[in-house]
Amino acid sequence: EGARVAAGGAPARVDGKGFFVSPTVFVDVKPTMRIYQEEIFGPVVAIARFSTEDEAVALANDTTYGLGAAVFTRDLERAHRVAAEIEAGMVWVNSSQDCDPRVPFGGVKQSGIGRELGEAGLEAYSQVKAVHINMGNKL
């Protein structure tokens, strides 16, 4: 569709079963391309250009998926603002995929519902009950 492999892309030689790809960088990626729209699980990055913060957020949200995103900036206020606007279950700032089992893990949109790990991960195994008691009026 026009994206260009800037690095990697070759099969990785790994002992055992399976098929593995070496870390791969795609450039000249457009939002209409399949590689941009799909959720790729592997050491692959698809790089698209943007000019403004608003355009970057719009591009990040222009997908049916929302597992995770990464924001790279020196401006902490911008990091918080953009992270809040991106439609993803997890947002990393100046890193990616460094996870802690105490922190909830999960996506939004077509990337899933609910959370694993952390206190939020226990909610699926909990049942909350509300009990209302009338103490003031006699029936």
Q: Are residues 34 and 77 in the same domain?
A: no
Q: Are residues 61 and 126 in the same domain?
A: yes
**Are 73 and 25 within one domain?**
no
**Which helix or strand (DSSP H or E) is residue 66 part of?**
strand 65-66
User: Tell me, what's the pLDDT at 79?
Assistant: 95
Based on the fold, state whether residues 62 and 108 are members of the same structural domain.
yes
pLDDT at 99: 80
Per-residue pLDDT of the chain (139 residues; tens, 9 = 90+): 999 999 998 988 888 788 888 999 999 999 999 999 998 888 999 999 999 999 999 999 999 988 889 999 999 999 999 999 999 999 999 998 788 878 877 888 888 877 777 787 777 778 877 888 788 887 7
44 and 59, same structural domain?
no
Domain count, the chain: 2
Same domain, 71 and 42: no
Q: What's the DSSP call for residue 124?
A: G
3-state secondary structure of 5: strand
Residues 66 and 4 in one domain: no
